[in-house]
């Protein structure tokens, strides 16, 4: 009787894990599809996007750069070991928690600790990404957003990739 219950419990937890895995892959494929679509539109010279980047004032080179980065992102979303915090920590659940907690913690500290306030203006991804939804971002706002994105996305991605590449194969 005990063996039947154990087998049944293992079977149900295994099927739940498979369902979660399938759902995560569907989300990843959806995100990759969106990156591919938008990246292709930027690189193909969609008139609306050409006008948008002309209005931003950074030139068409920035449209090509962001389009290429979106195509790269489409591929990397599908490779779990390349995702930034997961690769850096080699622990997906901890990476998800840190990805959500660390920027929020930095926001709180930046507002509460006086000597961190100036740095928070450059490193707080929540604060620096707010002007993205408003028309007419200034060059300084783009620079602040770029620095925050480098700290919270590019740096962990780079360090995580190095760590994964140097990891011993077992």
Query: Which two tokens mark 132?
Result: 């993205």
Residue % of the chain over a pLDDT of 90: 1
Q: What letter would DSSP give residue 169?
A: P
pLDDT digits (tens, 9 = 90+) for 31-87: 778 878 888 888 898 888 888 888 878 778 888 888 887 777 777 666 554 456 555
| Average pLDDT taken over every residue of the chain | 75
Show the beta-strand stretches assigned E in 31-93: none
Query: Which two tokens mark 157?
Result: 């991605």
pLDDT for the residue numbered 81:
45
pLDDT for the residue numbered 94:
61
pLDDT digits (tens, 9 = 90+) for 140-157: 888 988 888 888 778 877
List b or e across 61-99, with b for residues whose CB sees 16 or more CB atoms inside 10 angstroms: eebeebbeebbebbebbeeeebbbbbbbbeeeeebeebb
């Amino acid at each position: 009787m005990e063996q039947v219950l154990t087998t049944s419990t293992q079977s149900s937890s295994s099927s739940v894990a498979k369902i979660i895995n399938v759902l995560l892959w569907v989300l990843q494929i959806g995100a990759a599809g969106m990156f591919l679509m938008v990246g292709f539109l930027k690189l193909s010279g969609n008139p609306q996007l050409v006008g948008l980047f002309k209005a931003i004032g950074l030139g068409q080179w920035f449209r090509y750069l962001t389009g290429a980065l979106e195509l790269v992102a489409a591929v990397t979303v599908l490779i779990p070991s390349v995702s930034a915090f997961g690769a850096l920590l080699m622990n997906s659940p901890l990476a998800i928690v840190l990805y959500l907690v660390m920027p929020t913690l930095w926001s709180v500290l930046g507002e509460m600790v006086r000597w961190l306030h100036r740095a928070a203006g450059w490193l707080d991804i929540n604060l620096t990404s707010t002007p993205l939804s408003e028309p007419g971002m200034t060059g300084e706002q783009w620079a602040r957003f770029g620095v925050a994105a480098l700290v919270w996305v590019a740096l962990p991605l780079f360090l995580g990739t190095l760590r994964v590449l140097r990891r011993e194969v077992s």
